[in-house]
Amino acid sequence: MRVDLALFDGDELLTRGTFRIGAAELADSFPVFKITHRLGPEVTDIVLSEFPPHVDLKTIILKMPIHESSDWESIDMGRYSLAFWCRLDA
């Protein structure tokens, strides 16, 4: 599964990137966090961590269903929001 991900502080884009989730646990670095991900049987395990001091977030743990998004989806986290678009790639 491929995921496009964007983190916003209000209307300000902090970072945006794309990563692929597979059966093996992998880690990727974005400019404002580290992301660890692994594909499970029904959900993906996604952990965002290691935010810099100016970003008031600690660790975000997502259990994301394996799915194809029809549009951007988002999760509100106080002043921050996490937007994502999932694609099932062959």
23: DSSP letter: S
Q: Would you give per-residue pLDDT tens digits along the chain (90 residues)? A: 999 999 999 999 999 999 999 999 999 999 999 999 999 988 999 999 999 999 999 999 999 999 999 999 999 999 999 999 999 985
Which contacts qualify for 66-74: CB closer than 8 Å, 24 or more apart?
66/1, 66/39, 66/42
pLDDT recorded at residue 89: 81
pTM over 0.75: yes
Single out the residue of 55, 48, 58, 49 nearest to residue 79, CA to CA: 55
Instruction: Tell me how far the alpha carbon of residue 50 is from its chain's centroid.
Output: 13
30: DSSP letter: E
